[in-house]
Structure 1
Amino acid sequence: MFWFLVQLGIASILLLFSTAATWYEGSAILNDPWEWKHSTPFSQLFYDEVQSSNQISQLDHFIYAAKFLPTFPVIMVISSIYLLILIGYHFFRRRHKWFAYYLSFLGGGLFLLSYFIYNSPTTGGKIFFYIWLLSGVCCAVAAIISYFQTLDRNTNEVIN
């Protein structure tokens, strides 16, 4: 339990720090009006077209930072994935089959995210594509291994 809390604390602090840094770096969109049309999807939900920097949503700061300044957004995403896996393992550590299903669901979500930005022309988009794709593959492989270890354990208990 101690190591779980240490890992949870470190990953949470890293997530909070990288989120704040990402939000700060993404605020550069306020001074980049030629990018408002392409990097403000949340603001465009509220306003058809962004006319001034006052109309830009705080969430669009993260989009802009992920596209053009991806260092802190990458740290944010990796720490988020790590936290999701850590929390899932903590809740399902005695139910290996459920943990395998959880990893499968998480891997599917990561594959879906990578699909949405498959053709991104920006460097940040390409980086996120590969991070989400690789993370999805790792979750799927871990789910398969966990599932078959559970089957192997159950088979050995029946035989013995």
Structure 2
Amino acid sequence: MLNLLILLFSLLVSIYEGSEILNTPWEWEHTAIFSNLTNEQLKTTKDILLIDYFIFAAKFSPIYPIVSLIATYSITFQIIFWIKNKLTRIISFWLITFISIILMITLKNSPTQGLHLISILFGLSTFISISIALFLIKNNMEKNTSID
């Protein structure tokens, strides 16, 4: 429950900080990624989508976006540990690993410090996810080979 409140708070602050994109039209081409996908050309501030506020905040004020990503990972890990099926749990951690690697590689060469820090966070989450998945596999193999 606390993670959910932290996620909500950090998302709201991130969107508030990211609303600065409305005052920086020269950044729209590089930062308003999703708005550019849905519109042929960005002409007014009404064309900017909410998710692009978050991206702007991640690039230039990354503290709250990083907190929201950590809270998201924490909630996701908690949900995965609630899964009873061991194989599904292991596959879920490998899926998180795969997604984190893709995001880490995508953001690795970012010219902004904020996205570079988020790339490092994705690298750390990759390491944690792999470690948990390998631990679950090892633990499952030991239980299956033990003599009772």
Task: Give the TM-score normalised by the residue count of structure 2.
Answer: 0.95
What residue is the counterpart of 1:36 in the other structure?
Answer: 28
Q: CA deviation at 1:66?
A: 0.6
DSSP-derived class of the 1:111 partner: helix
Is there any run of 5+ residues in structure 2 with no aligned partner, and where? none
Letter of the aligned partner of 1:85 in structure 2? F
DSSP-derived class of the 2:41 partner: coil
Is there any run of 5+ residues in structure 1 with no aligned partner, and where? 1-8
Output one character per residue of 1:81-104: Cα deviation in whole Å (capped at 9) or x when no partner: 000000110123xx3343222211
DSSP-derived class of the 2:114 partner: helix
RMSD value over aligned CA atoms? Answer: 1.2
Output one character per residue of 1:64-117: Cα deviation in whole Å (capped at 9) or x when no partner: 00100001000000000000000110123xx33432222111111111111221
What residue is the counterpart of 2:50 in the other structure?
Answer: 58
**If you compute each CA radius of gyration, which structure gives the higher value, 1 or 2?**
1
User: Is 1:49 equivalent to 2:41 in the alignment?
Assistant: yes
Task: Give the TM-score normalised by the residue count of structure 1.
Answer: 0.88
Task: Identify which of 129, 137, 155 aligns with 2:119.
Answer: 129
Q: Percent identity?
A: 29
Task: Identify which of 95, 106, 109 aligns with 1:105.
Answer: 95
1:1-160 equivalences under 5 Å are 9-92=1-84, 95-156=85-146, 159-160=147-148
Q: Relative to structure 1, is the Cα distance of residues 75 and 153 closer, same or farther in structure 2, using a 3 angstrom cutoff?
A: same
Number of aligned pairs? 148
Distance 2:16 2:74 in 1: 23
C-alpha contact 1:37 1:49 (8 A) present in aligned 2: no
Q: CA deviation at 1:141?
A: 1.3
Output one character per residue of 1:103-132: Cα deviation in whole Å (capped at 9) or x when no partner: 111111111111221211101110111000
Distance 1:135 1:67 in 2: 19
Letter of the aligned partner of 1:149 in structure 2? N
Runs of 4+ in 1 over 6 A off after TM superposition: none
Distance 2:87 2:41 in 1: 48
Output one character per residue of 1:13-46: Cα deviation in whole Å (capped at 9) or x when no partner: 0000001111111000000111111111111112
DSSP-derived class of the 1:51 partner: coil
